[in-house]
Amino acid sequence: MSNIKVLDKEFEPYISEQEIQIKITELAKQLNQEYAGKKPIFLSILNGSFLFTADLFRQITIEAEVCFIKLASYKGTTSSGNVITAIGLDANVSGRDIIILEDIIDTGKTLHHFLPQLESNQPSSIKIAVLLNKKEALAYPIKVDYACFDIPNKFVVGYGLDYDGLGRNTKEIYQLK
């Protein structure tokens, strides 16, 4: 594996395709056991999570649904000053077991503002599964239930993650040099 250039920045190899796939297979096995008979809904947050979702979901062998949503934030008049709307949340999540799929949790801000909206639809449970968990960057009270990798607070691209829209289309993950 060699360095890649995305726009003005250089990135070096960080997590290999094989390491990613091993962790995803482990996570799929765990979810297949824990959610057997529950018919969970995998709620994938676009755009970054599409490759993670595809590779995980094809290894889910229990009865399950998948739904892709986009979170759009705009300045609202709530006390937090942030309103997050989910575009494409067409599944009826009421009474269902939800597993949110995110490429990366950084500050946790996005999910922190989205969770109340999801909870208002009264799912039976909500868990969060992420490919990458930037533990040190977490600034909101978000509980990550499943993380394939804990990573330091460094900017990464590849395998769905972008820098200014580019760099998503690699099988490996790269970190800023």
Query: Would you count residue 24 as binding ligand IMP (CB under 6 A)?
Result: no
Q: Distance (Å, rounded) from C-alpha 140 to C-alpha 150?
A: 17
Q: Give whole-number Cα distances, 123 to 6, 72, 119, 176, in Å.
A: 40, 21, 6, 38
Pairing of strands 125-133, 146-150: parallel
Query: Would you count residue 48 as binding Mg ion (CB under 5 A)?
Result: yes
Q: Of these, 17, 34, 97, 106, which contacts ligand IMP (CB under 6 A)?
A: 106
Which of the residues 106, 145, 162, 164 is marked catalytic?
Answer: 106
Site stretch for ligand IMP (CB under 6 A), options 15-23, 28-36, 60-68, 106-114: 106-114
Ramachandran angles phi, psi of 128, nearest 5°: -115, 125
Q: Which helix (H) or strand (E) element contains residue 119?
A: helix 109-119
- CB 66 → ligand IMP: shortest distance, Å? 18
Query: Would you count residue 110 as binding ligand IMP (CB under 6 A)?
Result: yes
Q: What is the DSSP letter of 110?
A: H
Query: Would you count residue 19 as binding ligand IMP (CB under 6 A)?
Result: no
**Tokens matching residue 111:** 């999910």
- Among positions 36-65, residues that touch ligand IMP (CB under 6 A) are 48
Report what 100 binds from ligand IMP, Mg ion, none; CB cut-off 5-8 Å by kind.
none
Q: Which helix (H) or strand (E) element contains residue 52?
A: helix 50-57
Q: What is the DSSP letter of 116?
A: H
- CB 48 → Mg ion: shortest distance, Å? 3
Query: Would you count residue 116 as binding ligand IMP (CB under 6 A)?
Result: no
162 is catalytic: no
E strand spans, 30-160: 41-46, 65-75, 82-87, 97-105, 125-133, 146-150, 156-157
Query: Would you count residue 153 as binding ligand IMP (CB under 6 A)?
Result: no
- Positions annotated as catalytic residues are 106
Give residues in contact with ligand IMP (CB under 6 A).
48, 102-110, 155-157, 161-162
